[in-house]
Amino acid sequence: MTLLSSLSRLCVFMGLTLACLSAPARAEGGLANGPRLPAYQAECAACHIAYPPGVLGAKSWQQIMAGLSKHFGVDASMDTASTQAIAAWLGDHAGTGRRFADVPAENRITKSSWFIRQHDEVSASVFKRPAVGGASNCAACHKRAADGNFNEHEVRTPK
């Protein structure tokens, strides 16, 4: 192998490495995860983790943002400017593709077909454990959920 071909291969390798490192972070299953909008982080993470926008499709996010006065039994209303900014950001970063074509029941992440498929080996009794507190409490088992990391190799299920 010549020095030139070795250098060419090294350049290609370095270019691919840099491209991968500079690409937006992705959660397991290809869910958009990158940097969070500060307003989204501040408003939504005050009550629960700021779910990566890729966990739902744009239509679900639109419906959720349109119903903040009755957000899963809580009034999560915000000022108009914040609501519009967050809604636009969620729409721009929403999940895409076939798995997001259908809106899950009640726009619940936990009722989406991909969520159910990803958690099919988890017994319903696990979600009922006091230390878990329900299927929507991702951080109970996914310790880095707040960072958008849902890697199944890092899951730790509380007793």
Tell whether 16 is covered by a domain: no
Cα 34 from chain centroid? Answer: 9
pLDDT for res 146:
87
- For 87-145, the pLDDT digits (tens) are 999 999 999 988 888 888 899 999 998 899 999 999 999 999 999 999 999 999 999 99
pLDDT for res 15:
40
Tell whether 70 is covered by a domain: yes
Tell whether 14 is covered by a domain: no
Residues paired with 95 in a beta bridge: 57
Given a cut of 50, whether residue 26 has pLDDT beyond it is no
46 is in which domain, residue-wise?
26-154
Separation CA 13–CA 31 (nearest Å): 26
Tell whether 114 is covered by a domain: yes
Is residue 27 within a helix (H) or strand (E), and if so which, with residue range? Answer: strand 26-27
pLDDT for res 141:
97
Given a cut of 70, whether residue 16 has pLDDT beyond it is no
Tell whether 88 is covered by a domain: yes
pLDDT for res 33:
56
Our count of domains for the chain comes to 1
- Please tell me whether the overall predicted TM-score, pTM, comes out greater than 0.95 for this model: no
- For 47-75, the pLDDT digits (tens) are 999 999 999 999 999 999 999 999 999 99
Tell whether 146 is covered by a domain: yes
